[in-house]
Structure 1
């Protein structure tokens, strides 16, 4: 049984060592050293190679080394090939840490204080109690629910929105397009952790921003494709939005002339909210391989129709 790895070669060495120690029955190969392509049953990759069906004729499962799969063109993959996303607890922990950092930075006005430091200007501003700050999360999957649980002890008024109805203790939940404006209207800080699909492409646009309270702030931890970047710049210029924390862009890395680099109301990070760590992800990947070998359902298998 052979697995082909196609991602970061440095972390690949960690994966290789873990398989050698804990699953020696699974042969490890690293792209582009395929050996006999017909022996490869599993592919663990960030992005799939072209002509996958021809290149790996006996491939049985594609394991995406990420929590999302929007970097994969699902339409170009063999229709009967299972695609499984990585339910790495380390990714969830990283997302919770980043969400806490972003929300607290906006809650405590740190972008303004960063600019004051650059201007050598010493001035304190009124602190709003956390109980008076309304934080809303778009997307209520498992990661979003963990983020909400992490934010709860600070005392924020929490709400969430998803396509389908959810019920989460301590969270005011909204569902569907008809409830989206009501949800947005009570968000002082809005976090986007939605999957990127045809329905969510460009959802963070001028129309959506207009539903937020004037002076609200945005955190995008989803994908760059969620955000209409020009609409964000206009919303910041008009005062409709006061600040934004962005971990993702449509084009990564950002080109040197990108306006977000020096914008005083934007905190930009290079897609680092969460990273797959072999140490925490290995057990999840191996368990899914064993499930496939036993004929059991795999955890995190992608619904091609929904895109996640």
Structure 2
């Protein structure tokens, strides 16, 4: 019998969904020390991981698992995450804000309140180039959605190998070349040692009047560097959904900056019903002794 402990802000719903599935050889326990399996929101497990003496496999309810790959944390178990669910939601977020910015929708809303009739110039998205940092499943989905709207899409990955919907690929060591081409820059990078402060004052100086979106992980942006890039005009506006510290402190300069839009990590939510589909598939593979889907390489951090 496999004992599962659920550590999540939506624990009650996950419990209902699991009990409804009636999975074989599975018992739910409230005691972490008895659990061989854990279904968890990663940030809630960081301080408890050392106490899970019987842990063999943890299924993350999030795509981002950087809370569990920090130096000093144990790695003697299998960790899997959620993939293939967030491309649509991330695309809606990025393209929604992009279209609103391009067509001045917020400005017209303000004008309406004052009964002001002023027209503002705009250009078609088909004249723009989007550079996507990270070309996994989310990046590929976004690339396809952007291509459907006529944008040219450039991808940046560790290897620079060609991938779906991307017109041109660059390896990460040629990042500066890619940034110089960006009208729109989107980071969907995971949090690793290699991505820490990747977007900083030095790298962002290669941009020119670029719209920046960070919907990956907060570590990718050097915050003082971004402020310098905004002041210099390298970045025209930054749409930020993830941050190094969450919640973002109330005295943080991002809140009041006129060229920064802050959202509270809502670009793509983990819906429990979808998470359960992945957990069920993985659990049945686990029982049968098959390799688990979406297993994390602790050395790479993803």
TM over 0.5: yes
SS of 1:5's equivalent in the other structure is strand
* CA displacement, residues 141-182 of structure 1 (integer Å, 9 cap, x when unaligned): 111101111222111111111111232354223232442222
Alpha carbons of 1:68 and 1:207: their partners in 2 closer, same or farther (altered >3 Å)?
same
Superposition map of 1:123-134 within 5 A: 123-134=118-129
CA RMSD of aligned residues (A): 2.3
**Whole-Å separation in 2 of the counterparts to 1:19 and 1:196:** 30
Q: Return closer, same or farther for 1:257/1:6 CA change in 2, 3 Å cut-off.
A: same
**Structure 2 residue aligned with 1:157:** 152
Q: Secondary structure at the match of 2:280?
A: helix
Query: Is contact 1:87-1:281 (8 Å) kept?
Result: no
State the shift of 1:57 in Å.
2.4
Tell me how far 1:262 sits from its aligned partner: 2.1
Q: Any residues of structure 2 matched to 1:211-230 within 5 Å, and which?
A: 211-212=206-207, 214-230=208-224
- Name which of 17, 31, 34 aligns with 1:34: 31
Match of 1:86 among 79, 82, 88: 82
Q: 1:196, 1:117 → 2: CA distance?
A: 42
Post-superposition, which runs of at least 4 consecutive aligned residues in structure 1 deviate over 6 A? Answer: 114-121
- In the other structure, the counterpart of 2:248 is 254
TM-score by length of 2: 0.90
1:243 aligns with 2:240: no
Q: Report the secondary structure of 2:68's partner residue.
A: coil
Distance 1:166 1:117 in 2: 48
- Mapped to 2, the partners of 1:291 and 1:83 lie a distance apart of 14
CA distance in 1, matches of 2:74, 2:48: 9
The match for 2:300 is 306
Q: How does 1:57-72 map to 2 (within 5 A)?
A: 57-72=53-68
Aligned length: 298
Give the Cα–Cα distance (whole angstroms) in 2 for the partners of residues 109 and 166 of structure 1. Answer: 36
Q: Structure 1 residues 142-151 or 77-86, which shifts more?
A: 77-86
Cα distance per residue 1:67-89 (max 9 Å; x no partner): 12112135444433111112252
